[in-house]
Structure 1
Amino acid sequence: MDYTSHIGRVNGDVMTQAHEPLNIMDSNQADYSTTTKRGIYLSKCLAFIILVIFALALVTASLLVYNYAACPQIDTLANVTKYELCHCDQSKLLVLPLTTESSRSVIPLDTTTHSPVPNVLNLWLPTHVKPEKYDIKITPFIYEGNFTFYGEVIIDLVVHEETKEMTFHGVELKIHYINILATEDEHSVYIVRHVEDVERNFHILNLGSTLEVGKQYVLTIKYSGLLNDNLHGFYRSSYDEKGVKKWIAVTQFQAMDARRAFPCWDEPALKARFTISIARPNNMTSLSNMNVVKREPHEHLKNYTWDHYAESLPMSTYLVAFTVTDFKNMTNDKFSVWARSEAVQSAAFALEIGPKILKYLEEYYKIKFPLPKIDMIALPDFKNGAMENWGLLTFREISMLYEEGVSASTDKVHVATVVAHEIAHQWFGNLVTPTWWRDLWLNEGFATYVEYVAVNAVEKSWNITELCVLDIVHNVFQLDALNSSHQLSVEVSASEEADAIFDKISYGKGSALLRMLNHILTDEVFNAGVTNYLNSKMYGNAEQRDLWSALTSAARQSGDFDADVAVVMDSWTLQTGFPVLTINRNYENGTVHFSQERFVLINDTVESQRSPIWWIPVSYTTASEKDFSSTRPRLWLKGERALSISNITMKSNDWFIANIQQTGFYRVNYDQRNWKLLIKVLKDPVRFQEINIINRAQLVDDAMNLALTGRLDYRTALDVTSYLAHERSYVPWKAGLSALGYIDTMLSKGAHYLEYGHYVLRLLNEAVKEIGWKVSPNESVVTSQYRVDLLASACHFEHPDCLENAVRMYTNWMLAPNPDAHSEIHVDLRGIVYCVGVRAGGVREWTFAWERFRVATAPSERHRLLSVLGCTRSPSLLHRYLEMSLRNDSGIRKQDIVRVFSAVAGTAIGQPIAFNYIRANWQRLRTFVGSLSTINLIVKVVTRRLNQAHEYEELKRFVTEYCSDLGRPVQQVLETISANVQWKDRNYNTIVDWLKAVDNNTS
């Protein structure tokens, strides 16, 4: 996630064409311009009926006057007194009483109906009419108890197909006035009826005359809405400064929430130019996509100022953004960073690295950034990590603020990569936008890939390209191995489905496939194709086939690759999952046999017979060659299930490794003899380094996951992990700890967890001694993360030295005169020390950490403390922590609820507590959170440790009764737990026997 002016027309031509603002005080109705009809003659009977209706209308009107007289309603900013509360503090402003129920409307019953549309499959708007320009004027009222806004939008439209209907989007907006003006002859189009299709968020206007092809029309709508607290649309946020609660108003429109802030054609393909005007209190500041061109006092509201922004370039509605805050800023050329006054200095690193990344990407894309400025703003409440709104990048505070001595080195990397991701979007996503959410991965996959490329270019010492394999390959394999995974290019037929595809598949798999394609084509060809793609689709929309076409042309011009990129890549983007490449060698005649099938956690015999096939690029090397630098494919499986070759030169006792630097998005399995040859070289304390560091990580990850699915004997896989005892590089260790972590979870509630702990501690022992607790000045981020992961694992398995150091530091921290000074605990180690201190202690230690959270202001420290508060072994404290996450006065922000549930459910003690809690508080949880995507994440994190048949049955009943509307994500949860149950039945005894044997051999 991630985003000629009409201003004069509001007070000029349109407003003088008999379209004066409706006085809602008098009629409480929406106004439509109508044509005057001539007189008619009535019979006595008809006259009597009309008289009766008129009498009933008088009674109804009297009731309406009684109900609404208590407080005047808006008169479209025509008279300031109508904003004032007539019965309370007049320093506060009030817009019309609102309802957030989409089933209600202020349009009269005789002209408005609500049309439920069951089983909606098509979310697309009709194509008869399209917008060209929006002129938006919006006034937010950011006052306690009155979080509302009033807006006026004027939209220039062009008719592409003759129609007597106009359809646009709007959600939770009260429409007070609608007018359609034909610009050619300046006449208003009669509106017969307004229908609200609630399920699809459509507003449908039935018209009295036909809109003609090629002609232009102007739609004017005046409306009001609610500044919600659900972190989407136009919403409110707050923060405390020196004991004072302050409110701000901000936007988040991706994927389908611009319609919550203004009526619009809310589809990514319907690009238009936007002229935005924001009314804000004089003591606050507004921001939007473009630069301010004019400021002037508000014509009606004292102490309010209009900020008028320059007209934008053509862009999609989801990229529109505006904020009203009292934040402070710092500036560097065209860059400005904004944050709370107490936090703005922590934005210095983002301000430093942002221009470097922008400069690099201008050279990378070979296209200059087209806007005059970039604002980056850190928001206290933000559902996503960040959002790429064109020219106004919005961030969660943890993703933009870095404070030396308070934030860990990994926080610095996080800020750099998120900033790079959002700046990469300014071209891939903003300049060229997918036609529909089906190809979201074009946005997110590319930005994810480029974030590593860009950060590596400006921070070479971080070696971040090694880390990307862990993030975008290993991490994604886990989700994509489910039968309930989804295609990369996937149909979206509901807003919930659009939210659901913002997942590891769109981000990680999309990125991994682009990385694979880059290695197939080479940097030069790949970059040339991307530049051609962007130039050809600039300010427009595209589908994945447009990218394939540009890359194919560039590849054929180079002469090195003559295949159609679409044929190759469609096999990866239009099919669910990924393959495992199985390699069997004939050691007598040297023939090597390659075969492919889909890699899934749960094997279904019927499905496996219909397994898809891919175009697989195969790079490889042997013990004789040891060439780990050549990543281009040496052979292909061109959509064929198997292939045998006999021209590979190697000795019978040479090891063979495929998928060099794991550039291909697939796993590799070998025959048993080749696995033994690989294990032999890995276990050699010197020779293991003959194998590339990424391929060592690949061997561990592939072996353990092949065993997890029954494709490789667990004894062989665990033999591969045993080499880690002499490994001293981070990437293989991280792969090993992640793979072993699954066994940890599966055994944690069993009788033989102790043997497993002994095994992992033996692997860790020497590495932990070498890395130690002392952090060197100017240490690399990879070394820092290596230390953190090793020490965290050692403390998890109660390594004596680790526990002693951590408990001592936590105790000293508690006894310090000023505990918030953190004099002894290095910032990179705080997460470990805090967790051990809370876990080893009781109520006193937990309460101390909770109080530190309550007073902490740095986002990184708050996030760290939120995670460690779940480390306690006290069930009552864990339950209390969950309860506090659903209270508005606890200090835990709604955006952090998933972190709380994840922390509690991350231990064998806390997991059943968290699962039972959501079942007992399901409706309350859903109401409080308000977001299906967040609910899905909570269900996922609280169930991931389940692995017994009765637990799976309980989960299935819960899902059937309460979660049927959660869609694909909850089905993925069910499949994951089913796989856990099958795994335990199939592998538990084998692993326990292996661990006992190893334990006996080393005792």
Structure 2
Amino acid sequence: MGKGFFISKAVGIAAIIVGAGALATIIALSVVYSQEKAKNNDNVLPTDGGTTSKPPVTTTAPSNEPWDKYRLPKSLVPDHYNVTLWPRLKQNLTTGLFIFTGQSTVEFVCAEETDLILIHSNKLNYTKRENNHLASLTSLGGVKAPSIKSSWLQQVTQYLVLQLDGKLMKDHRYHLHTDFTGELADDLGGFYRSEYMEDGVKKVVATTQMQPTDARKAFPCFDEPAMKAIFHITLIHDLGTVALSNGEEKGHDVQKTVFQPTEKMSTYLLAFIVSDFSFINNTIDGVLIRIFARTPAIAAGQGDYALNKTGPILKFFEKYYNSSYPLPKSDQIALPDFNAGAMENWGLITYRETALLYDETFSSNSNKQRIATIIAHELAHMWFGNLVTLRWWNDLWLNEGFASYVEYLGAHEAEPEWNVKDLIVLSDVHRVFAVDALASSHPLSSKEEDIQKPAQISELFDAISYSKVTSLTAFQHLKFTYLAEFAFGNAGYTDLWSHLQMAVDATGTDIPETVSNIMNTWVLQMGFPVVTVNTSTGIISQKHFLLDPDSEVTTPSIYNYEWIVPIKWMKTETIQHPKWLKNESVTIDEMKVSGSDWVLANINVVGYYRVNYDQGNWERLLGVLSTNHVAIPVINRAQLVDDAFNLARAKIISTVLALRTTKYLNKEREYMPWESAVGNLDFFYLMFDRSEVYGPMQDYLRNQVTPLFTHYKSLTDNWKNVPVGHMDQYNQVNAISLACRTGLRECQNLTNQWFNQWMETKLNPIHPNLRSTVYCNAIAAGGAKEWEFAWSQFKNASIAIEADKLRYALACTKQPWLLNRYLEYTLDPNMIRKQDATSTIVYIANNVIGQSLAWDFVRARWSYIFTQYGGGSFSFSNLVNGVTERFSTEYELQQLKQFKEDNAEVGFGSGTLAVDQSIERTIANIKWIAENKQNVLDWFKAEEKP
């Protein structure tokens, strides 16, 4: 790309149209942004450079004006947009900014007479049009449009406000025209820039992330999901670059690319990108599939896996949904800077590089699985979310929950030998249990009026919305017929229930209530039940499961926290006829047992609930685990461990009983039970790695994991080979990780030997599957030399997946000064990319040495972190939870409460709920340690004895 700014003669006229007047605003734009950064609560944009301003409101009373509400009125309905954008990939030498200029015309229909136009706009600077206003209005069909009386930008609610001197007429159409300038910032939202180095040259990509409320940062728009429209996009761009958008290329000349109109769609699904990336392509049944990435990545074949799997997954979903893919092409692009994992923009899916690019030299099998499942997740959205879209964000789970479930079906289609569907339990069910067991959880479907502000919307992108539905699979065999009825429109969950009921009626499926009655108990109230099976009496009962039973549930429920629960169960080794639990309790005579018989409920964990038993049945199940564990399905072995530890935390069973579920593990070779145990024992590490319990716990766990370590040493011929099975490869990582963590000398010597060999020879001998855990353990055992070597490798890594492994491992050092330096690096995008900053801080907090350092760092710099990394960012809840996860003392609780109080004015954005959840979790941890520490210490000590 040549230096300076080049405008070809062929597109000179088009460039002038877009740039006319707008270039005069660039200086003003720099003023606007500097003022915004210095004074975030400023409500008025300066009048310089073509904006008009609204006088500040002097009254302290709440305003009831339409422009002070976060939701659009129903008076205007967009039909289509014509948007031309020109991103500048070179820094302006005068302002120091990267900017874009644009021109937009939106055609809308007046649904209700009004003298007010509200259209979303955020951080855009407008060129004055006729009569010195920020926009111009024309009418279609011969009716004269009223004049604009006043116009201004309402920053808090993010509107361009136009007051008219007359009313728009019902059912008439109008055009609203604007010229604007925005900053192509590095904030990972709206129309933003991503930078990377290639052959010693810094390159810039102009790209987008609109979900949920950032399309308004790219151009003025009715930025709500129900405001679907058709978009005509034109991009002007530098010579040598490629422009992409949702639609197919309609035509282009030297620097101008015009795209076919999109289908009718929501603003948050828009995407447009300018880069000099390369691509590979294929065509499946007339659908063009392209994978875009940095040229060296494509040349190295890193897009091949994604290209090979996209077609089969796409075809699978066409069959599964009984609906053809509605677009002519499916582009997928790997971006160096991207805040989320991926985004389902219709026809142009954007990914982090680690979520799309695969290189067998650097990528582990877990990296490969992540790529397959994320591709499947995003392609699932092409129908469920894009073709049929939620009406409002309170039903986000309709989009994300079902996509999170069917991603496993799509990945299974791509890689049937992995049995990836079994991992739903570990990856989603156990994940969401942890959040949904808190009194501060929330229902799947929130009240629409409770979700208004952008930060409140972003807050919904949590485990509840993504993972809870994966367990609500009583109707997973039914087809989503409602896609046909609501195609290119919007729907709510009641529409889904209606169509599922039609399918139930048509197939004669036996259910105890209507679909609506069953599913609403899971959707409209938070939490889940613990089902208790008494094998002496045959009584099964349910109760709202709370991790802290003393916590106060203030959220009311019309169902009184009772659910209609499907009970799939087995007696001894025979699966029985399923039952339903509709009320608080019911007697089922078949569940009575005697002698050595035992009952196991929630077979294969198809239901979203925990299970408790009478003491006698617990003892029989523990006996089966110790003598013939394979008699219990492998998923349920993982379930027994997870249920037991969480029931103990809720004071329903004893902690010693939970610990006893781990005694059989020295005979267990399967991944899922081990992963469940390791995940639950992580809580014990968090609570006890600073206390006298730590030593005896380490001794016990080292003894339990040593047979597994030895097993994999033998299976791999002394670590020369890779296990064949997908799950075996995962469990080999568990074996090495836990063995080294618990101080098994042979393991520590092995990891240090591999890492030192790499340092000495510069040839990495470590298999990609094992790199994260080997790097971490070697850096933890080493000092500055090992850390500096890893940092050098990180900075020079050209493969994002390898860089991620090193970035994680660098947080494992035991040297406080290195950890403090690493924390400072997270504030410098030249050291740690903005997309990785918050997760790096969490990695450091996970280290017992780094936890207090990370907490002090976050507290001291909260205002800066919040401003720089966006309070609406999805990652803020992870940051808050991550740095407070180990909290278990009264002192830490008071610090956390003080942190909440001190930063009330700054705010917590999408991390607001996470702050309250952290306080609740800390209180529960304090009580749990007080009640369990001595018993746990005694048990571990007793297990040490021969």
Q: Does TM, normalized by the shorter one, top 0.5?
A: yes
* 1:836 maps onto 2:777 in alignment: yes
How far apart, CA to CA, are the structure 2 residues paired with 1:828 and 1:605? 41
Once the two structures are superposed, residues 624-677 of structure 1 have per-residue CA deviations (whole angstroms, 9 ceiling, x without a partner) of x522xx7xx722122x11111224475443110111111100000001001001
CA contact (8 A) 1:456 1:462 kept: yes
Residue 150 of structure 2 aligns to a residue in which SS? strand
CA contact (8 A) 1:95 1:150 kept: no
Q: How far 1:836 sits from its partner (Å)?
A: 1.7
CA contact (8 A) 1:761 1:797 kept: yes
**Number of the residue aligned with 1:784:** 729
Q: How far 1:403 sits from its partner (Å)?
A: 0.4
* TM-score normalised per structure 1: 0.86
* TM-score normalised per structure 2: 0.91
**Number of the residue aligned with 2:388:** 432
Residue 718 of structure 1 aligns to a residue in which SS? helix
CA contact (8 A) 2:18 2:85 kept: no
- Work out which of the residue numbers 578, 581, 605 in structure 2 matches 1:634: 578
**Number of the residue aligned with 1:667:** 610
Structure 1, 246-255 or 991-1000: larger mean CA deviation: 991-1000
Counterparts of 1:337-352 in structure 2, within 5 Å, are: 337-344=291-298, 345-352=301-308
- Work out which of the residue numbers 592, 600, 620 in structure 1 matches 2:569: 620
* 1:336 maps onto 2:290 in alignment: yes
Q: How far 1:952 sits from its partner (Å)?
A: 1.1
Residue 221 of structure 1 aligns to a residue in which SS? strand
Once the two structures are superposed, residues 270-312 of structure 1 have per-residue CA deviations (whole angstroms, 9 ceiling, x without a partner) of 1001110000011111100011111135xxxxxxx11000011
How far apart, CA to CA, are the structure 1 residues paired with 2:882 and 2:564? 35
CA contact (8 A) 1:626 1:690 kept: no
How far apart, CA to CA, are the structure 2 residues paired with 1:533 and 1:368? 14
**Number of the residue aligned with 1:517:** 475
* 1:688 maps onto 2:629 in alignment: yes
**Number of the residue aligned with 1:51:** none
**Are residues 407 and 110 of structure 1, via their aligned partners in 2, closer, same or farther at CA, if it must alter by over 3 Å?**
closer
CA contact (8 A) 1:174 1:225 kept: yes
How far apart, CA to CA, are the structure 2 residues paired with 1:323 and 1:78? 19
Q: How far 1:458 sits from its partner (Å)?
A: 2.2
* 1:327 maps onto 2:285 in alignment: no
Q: How far 1:501 sits from its partner (Å)?
A: 0.8
Once the two structures are superposed, residues 380-421 of structure 1 have per-residue CA deviations (whole angstroms, 9 ceiling, x without a partner) of 000000000000000011100110111111111111111111
**Number of the residue aligned with 2:7:** none
**Number of the residue aligned with 2:329:** 373
Q: How far 1:186 sits from its partner (Å)?
A: 6.1
**Number of the residue aligned with 1:725:** 666
Once the two structures are superposed, residues 249-277 of structure 1 have per-residue CA deviations (whole angstroms, 9 ceiling, x without a partner) of 10000000000001010000010011100
**Number of the residue aligned with 1:262:** 219
- Work out which of the residue numbers 808, 813, 838 in structure 2 matches 1:898: 838
Q: How far 1:861 sits from its partner (Å)?
A: 0.6
- Work out which of the residue numbers 676, 679, 700 in structure 1 matches 2:641: 700
* 1:770 maps onto 2:711 in alignment: yes
How far apart, CA to CA, are the structure 2 residues paired with 1:77 and 1:741? 56
* 1:604 maps onto 2:550 in alignment: yes
**Are residues 761 and 726 of structure 1, via their aligned partners in 2, closer, same or farther at CA, if it must alter by over 3 Å?**
same
**Number of the residue aligned with 2:930:** 985
Once the two structures are superposed, residues 809-855 of structure 1 have per-residue CA deviations (whole angstroms, 9 ceiling, x without a partner) of 11111111xx1x31x21121111221122111111111011001011
Once the two structures are superposed, residues 34-70 of structure 1 have per-residue CA deviations (whole angstroms, 9 ceiling, x without a partner) of xxxxxxxxxxxxxxxxxxxxxxxxxxxxxxxxxxxxx
Q: How far 1:445 sits from its partner (Å)?
A: 0.6
Q: How far 1:956 sits from its partner (Å)?
A: 1.2
* 1:99 counterpart letter in structure 2: V
- Work out which of the residue numbers 395, 409, 433 in structure 1 matches 2:351: 395
Q: How far 1:195 sits from its partner (Å)?
A: 4.1
**Number of the residue aligned with 2:866:** 926
Residue 105 of structure 2 aligns to a residue in which SS? strand
* 1:169 maps onto 2:116 in alignment: no
How far apart, CA to CA, are the structure 2 residues paired with 1:793 and 1:748? 14
* 1:564 counterpart letter in structure 2: T
**Are residues 453 and 122 of structure 1, via their aligned partners in 2, closer, same or farther at CA, if it must alter by over 3 Å?**
farther
- Work out which of the residue numbers 849, 853, 856 in structure 2 matches 1:916: 856
* 1:754 maps onto 2:695 in alignment: yes
**Are residues 741 and 566 of structure 1, via their aligned partners in 2, closer, same or farther at CA, if it must alter by over 3 Å?**
same
Once the two structures are superposed, residues 925-957 of structure 1 have per-residue CA deviations (whole angstroms, 9 ceiling, x without a partner) of 333323443343222211111111111111111
Structure 1, 988-997 or 120-129: larger mean CA deviation: 120-129
**Number of the residue aligned with 1:286:** 243
Q: How far 1:78 sits from its partner (Å)?
A: 6.5
What's the Cα RMSD here? 2.3
**Number of the residue aligned with 1:868:** 809
CA contact (8 A) 1:276 1:308 kept: yes
* 1:676 maps onto 2:632 in alignment: no
**Number of the residue aligned with 1:192:** 149
* 1:796 counterpart letter in structure 2: R
CA contact (8 A) 1:106 1:174 kept: no
Find the structure with the greater CA-based Rg. 1
Structure 1, 168-177 or 412-421: larger mean CA deviation: 168-177
CA contact (8 A) 1:133 1:274 kept: yes
Q: How far 1:779 sits from its partner (Å)?
A: 2.3
**Are residues 998 and 307 of structure 1, via their aligned partners in 2, closer, same or farther at CA, if it must alter by over 3 Å?**
same
CA contact (8 A) 1:106 1:175 kept: no
CA contact (8 A) 2:880 2:914 kept: no
**Are residues 770 and 368 of structure 1, via their aligned partners in 2, closer, same or farther at CA, if it must alter by over 3 Å?**
same
**Number of the residue aligned with 2:194:** 237
**Are residues 733 and 777 of structure 1, via their aligned partners in 2, closer, same or farther at CA, if it must alter by over 3 Å?**
closer
Q: How far 1:198 sits from its partner (Å)?
A: 2.3
**Number of the residue aligned with 1:814:** 759
Q: How far 1:606 sits from its partner (Å)?
A: 6.2
**Are residues 927 and 438 of structure 1, via their aligned partners in 2, closer, same or farther at CA, if it must alter by over 3 Å?**
closer
Q: How far 1:614 sits from its partner (Å)?
A: 0.8
Counterparts of 1:481-492 in structure 2, within 5 Å, are: 481-491=437-447, 492=451
- Corresponding residue pairs, total: 889
**Are residues 119 and 78 of structure 1, via their aligned partners in 2, closer, same or farther at CA, if it must alter by over 3 Å?**
closer
How far apart, CA to CA, are the structure 2 residues paired with 1:719 and 1:578? 25
**Are residues 83 and 313 of structure 1, via their aligned partners in 2, closer, same or farther at CA, if it must alter by over 3 Å?**
same
**Number of the residue aligned with 2:265:** 315
Once the two structures are superposed, residues 696-738 of structure 1 have per-residue CA deviations (whole angstroms, 9 ceiling, x without a partner) of 1111110111011111011211111211111111111111111
Q: How far 1:189 sits from its partner (Å)?
A: 2.4
Residue 662 of structure 2 aligns to a residue in which SS? helix
* 1:803 maps onto 2:803 in alignment: no
- Work out which of the residue numbers 587, 594, 597 in structure 2 matches 1:644: 587
**Number of the residue aligned with 1:71:** none
How far apart, CA to CA, are the structure 2 residues paired with 1:940 and 1:752? 24
CA contact (8 A) 2:548 2:649 kept: no
**Number of the residue aligned with 1:35:** none
**Number of the residue aligned with 1:571:** 521
Aligned residues: percent identity? 36
Once the two structures are superposed, residues 185-243 of structure 1 have per-residue CA deviations (whole angstroms, 9 ceiling, x without a partner) of 16342011124332211222111121111111111111111112110011011000111
How far apart, CA to CA, are the structure 2 residues paired with 1:75 and 1:648? 79
* 1:429 counterpart letter in structure 2: G
Q: How far 1:991 sits from its partner (Å)?
A: 0.8
How far apart, CA to CA, are the structure 2 residues paired with 1:978 and 1:778? 43
Unaligned runs of 5+ in 2: 1-10, 37-42, 130-134
**Are residues 694 and 109 of structure 1, via their aligned partners in 2, closer, same or farther at CA, if it must alter by over 3 Å?**
closer
Residue 490 of structure 1 aligns to a residue in which SS? coil
- Work out which of the residue numbers 97, 105, 121 in structure 2 matches 1:146: 97
**Are residues 115 and 129 of structure 1, via their aligned partners in 2, closer, same or farther at CA, if it must alter by over 3 Å?**
farther
* 1:595 maps onto 2:541 in alignment: yes
Counterparts of 1:518-557 in structure 2, within 5 Å, are: 518=476, 523=477, 526-527=478-479, 530=480, 532-557=481-506
How far apart, CA to CA, are the structure 2 residues paired with 1:110 and 1:705? 58
